[in-house]
Structure 1
Amino acid sequence: MSSAVGDEMELRRRKVQQDAEQKKIEEQEALQSQHVLKDKATGEGDVDELDKEYVEYFKKKYGENPRSDIMGIDGCALFVLIYIVVAGVVFTIIFLSMYARHRDIFANMPLPGFK
């Protein structure tokens, strides 16, 4: 049994066309996966237009990698500084409230060495 030459040529042409389409789809999927990985790395994913506008504004104003320090202090040193400032404010308020009620507490105290 022999087949028509046109049928075999048509099948080969379809096969080549399907292979080309499959290759194109695989390339698009690879590009999309690269974009997804890039978006995850940069922190930009599915962002709407308003968020994208804010991101572009802050990148333009503050640069690509904004600093996280305050007055050049970062991490544990910053925590300790804030802790000392807060503790100082709290103890100052406590001292002033005690002083407001008992102003003469130090007036009647005998001084050592003086008689």
Structure 2
Amino acid sequence: MTGIGYTLPAVVAAAAVCGWELAVLHTGLFRRLEYWLTLTIVLGFQIPVDGWLTKLSAPLVLYNEEHITGIRFPWDIPVEDFLFGFAMVTAVLLWWERRRRIEHRTGRKVAP
């Protein structure tokens, strides 16, 4: 079944992070300009690096085409890579925000 092996976990990861914020944490991260600027900076580095790693003319990273949607943009980057990148960066920022709030509320440092 096309797209299940890599696409499904990418979609689930992105949805889980959004769900964690919207249903549990309520940090307001998605409403902050700083968050969207951060993602823009991440994309500014992810696109050239990931594009170089996945370019179809001489790939350093190979994907089994049966496990991705086949949608590649720009420079042959599988769209699933952007979902995983979003999930990873957003999860870390949400975790930091959660720790910051706990530390502010309790006045104590929280163990990682």
Give the structure-2-normalised TM-score: 0.29
RCO higher in structure (CA 8 A, sep ≥6)? 2
Structure ID, larger Rg: 1
Give the structure-1-normalised TM-score: 0.28
